[in-house]
Structure 1
Amino acid sequence: MKLLHKDIEKDNAGQVTLIPEEPEDMWHTYNLLQMGDSLRASTIRKVQTESSTGSVGSNRVRTTLTISVETIDFDTQACQLRVKGTNIQENEYVKMGAYHTIELELNRKFTLAKKVWDSVVLDRIEQACDAAQKADVAAVVMQEGLANIVLVTPAMTLLRAKVEVTIPRKRRGSCAQHDRALERFYDAVVQGILRHINFDVVKCVLVGSPGFVKEQFCNYMFQQAVRSDNKLLLENRPKFMQVHSSSGHKYSLKEILSDPTVTSRLSETKAAGEVKALEDFYKMLQHEPDRAFYGVAHVERANEAMAIDVLLISDELFRHQDIATRNRYVRLVDGVRENGGSVRIFSSLHVSGEQLNQLSGVAAVLRFPIADLSDSESGSSSDEE
C-alpha cells in the first residue's frame, strides 16, 4: 500500500489517499472501511443515452464518484473488495443519492474520509504501508494423496492450491501402482509450488506432514530438480524447512507455526508472533488461570486494574457495525497501551485469529494475578459480545 496524502485534523476528522499495490492491500482496506465513511474512487458506470431519432442505447463510462459507504463485500479468495453506497457529490453521469457499487482496483488510488480516525485504523494504515513488515512465508501441508499450498502473509493465510490424488494401497508382491500414483502426486505438488510461490518474496517454505512424507517428497523434488536442471528450486533449497504436522489439512498450519524451531526461524514474521502470543496465553490459562482472562467484560476489569501485560484482540471486532461497540474495543486498546501493556491485533483470516475468535475475540495475559471475576460478573454477562 502506498500513502499519497494524509489530512487529519486535531478533532481526528479528515481523509487519506491510498493506492493498493497488491491483493493483500484489499484486506487492509476492508478493515479501514466503515459504514458512513466517504469513499472517492474511479469506477465504471453504465449510462443510457438517447439519440436525436429517439433510439436508446447504453455504454460504459469511467468516472470518479464519491459515495457514502453502506455495505462492504470482501471476497477472501479473489481478494476483491466491492463497496456499495449512495452518491454524495455532483456527477454528470450519476444523480445525487443514486446507488452505485465501486469495485476497488489494484494500482488505482482512492480517497477515504472519516468523521473520526481512531488509533486502531491509523495503526492499520501504518502497518499496510510499511514494506518491512511483509516477511512472507509459504507452507506445504501434506499427507499421502493430499497437499495444501498456503501463503502466510502478515495479515492473512491464503490457500493457493489444493492437490488431491488417489493413492492405491501397497499390495503384497507389487507396489508399482502405489509408487506411480505417489510420483504423480509429488509432481503435482512441485508444479503447484513453482506456480504459486514467488521465491523473490518468500523467505521460508515450510513442508509439514505426518510420518516420513515430507522427507520423501523433498528428496523426490530435489532429485527431479537436479535431473531437469531446475535452477529456481536448487538455488532456493535452503529456504525449505521440514517440520512435523498431524495431517495434511489446512488447520494443521497452526501446529506447524507453533513449532519452536519454526518460531525461531520465522521470528520476524507477524504470523509467528500471533501464534506465540496465543500459545503463551493458553499456557498461562493452564498454569496460572488468575493471570489469563478472556471475554470483553473480564478483560476490561483487568485493564481498569492496570494489570494487562499483553492484550490479544481480533480485527473482526473493529468491523462491528455499531459505532459504540467498536469504540469500546478502541478504548480498550488505547487503555492497555497507556498503561504500558502491549497489544496484538490478530487477523481473523489467520488460523490463530480463528482460534482467538472462539474465545470471544479478546483475551489478555496479566502482569499479576487477579481473583476470578466470574462471581462479580454473573450479573453483567450480557456485556459479553
Structure 2
Amino acid sequence: MKLVRKNIEKDNAGQVTLVPEEPEDMWHTYNLVQVGDSLRASTIRKVQTESSTGSVGSNRVRTTLTLCVEAIDFDSQACQLRVKGTNIQENEYVKMGAYHTIELEPNRQFTLAKKQWDSVVLERIEQACDPAWSADVAAVVMQEGLAHICLVTPSMTLTRAKVEVNIPRKRKGNCSQHDRALERFYEQVVQAIQRHIHFDVVKCILVASPGFVREQFCDYMFQQAVKTDNKLLLENRSKFLQVKQSYPGIVKNGDSFA
C-alpha cells in the first residue's frame, strides 16, 4: 500500500489518500472503509446525452465522485471492493444525493475521510504502508565498524539502518580503545536490530561479514542477551544464520540480496 497524503487533525478527523498495490492491500482497504465514511475516487458513470437534433443517447464517462458510504462488498476472487453510497459533491455528470457504486482495485488511488480516526485504524494503515511488515527475511551486512540492517521483501531489499563507529587500530600492548569502540559498535547494531526488525514477521535473519566479525558479533549479542535477560533475542535466537561474505559489501535500496 502506498500512502500519498495524510491529513489528520488534532480532533482525529481528517483524510488519507492511498493506492493499493497488491491483492493483500484490498483486504486492508476493506477493513479501513466503514459505513458513514466519505470516499473519493475515479469511477465510470453512464450519462445520457442529447444531440442538437433532439436524439437521446448514453455515454460512459470517467469522473471523480465523493460518496457517503452506505454499503461495502469485497469480492476476493476479482480482488475488487465495491462501495455504494450517495454523491455528496455535485459535478457536471452526477447530482447531489444520487446513488452510485465505486469499484476499488489495485493501483487505483482513493481518498478516505473519517470524522474520527481511531488508533487501531491508523496502525493498520501504518503497517500496510510499511514494507517491513511484508519482509520475512532480514540481513545484517557488516564489517568491523560498519553495518547495514536490511529487510528483504519479495520484490526488493530495503536498507533500514546504517551503523558506523570509528574503530581504532590495536596497539601493541594496549587494545583497550579498540575493544571499547568495538563493543560500542556491537551494542548499536543490536539496538538497530531490535528497532527495525519485526521478529513476529521475520523468519530468518542473515548475519553476513568477511572474516570473523559475524561470529564475534553474534557471541557478544547473545552473551549480553543472557546477562540482561533479553527475551526478544533469546526466544528468536534460532532465526539468526551466519553467512560468510568473501568481501565487504553493502546492499543498496532496491537491489536484490544474493
**What is the TM-score with the length of structure 1 in the denominator?**
0.36
- In structure 1, the partner of 2:20 is 20
* Map of 2:115 onto structure 1: 115
Report % sequence identity: 82
Distance in 2 (CA, whole Å) between partners of 1:22 and 1:200 is 12
Larger radius of gyration: 2
Task: Describe the shift of the 1:200–1:130 C-alpha distance in structure 2 as closer, same or farther (beyond 3 A).
Answer: closer
1:52 offset after TM fit, Å? 1.7
One-letter identity of the residue aligned with 1:90: E
* Distance change >3 Å, CA 51–CA 81, structure 1 → 2: same
**Residue identity matched to 2:21:** E
Structure 2 counterparts to residues 282-301 of structure 1, below 5 A: none
1:135 and 1:268 in contact (8 A); partners too: no
Residue 47 of structure 1 corresponds to 47
For 1:121-200, list aligned pairs within 5 A: 121-135=121-135, 200=154
Q: Can you list the C-alpha shifts for 1:31-72, whole angstroms capped at 9, x where unaligned?
A: 001100000000000111111222111111000000000000
Deviation at 1:268, TM superposition (A): 4.8
Q: CA deviation at 1:78?
A: 2.4
The one-letter code sitting in structure 2 at the alignment partner of 1:133 is: W
SS of the residue corresponding to residue 91 of structure 1 reads coil
Q: Which has the higher helix share?
A: 1
Q: How many residues align?
A: 147
Find the counterpart in structure 2 of residue 100 from structure 1: 100
Structure with more of its chain in strand, by fraction: 2
Note if 1:68 corresponds to 2:37: no
Specify the SS of the correspondent of 1:12: coil
Q: How far, CA to CA, are the matches of 1:80 and 1:35 in structure 2?
A: 17
Residue aligned with 2:48, SS = strand
- Report what 1:352 is aligned to: none
Deviations 1:334-362 (A, max 9, x none): xxxxxxxxxxxxxxxxxxxxxxxxxxxxx
Give the root-mean-square deviation of aligned CA atoms. Answer: 2.4
Q: Is the 8 A contact 1:88 1:96 kept in 2?
A: yes
Residue 269 (1) aligns with residue 188 (2)? no
Q: CA deviation at 1:77?
A: 2.3
Aligned equivalents of 1:132 and 1:103: distance in 2? 28
In the alignment, what sits opposite 1:182? none
Q: Which residue of 2 aligns with 1:161?
A: none
Q: Output the CA distance in 2 between the equivalents of 1:270 and 1:61.
A: 46
Q: Which one has more relative contact order, counting CA pairs under 8 Å at least 6 apart?
A: 2
Residue 11 of structure 1 is matched in structure 2 by 11
Preserved CA contact (<8 Å) 1:84 1:100: yes
Q: Which runs of 4+ in 1 moved over 3 A?
A: 199-202
3-state SS of paired residue (1:84): strand
Change over 3 Å in CA distance of 1:120–1:270 after alignment to 2? farther
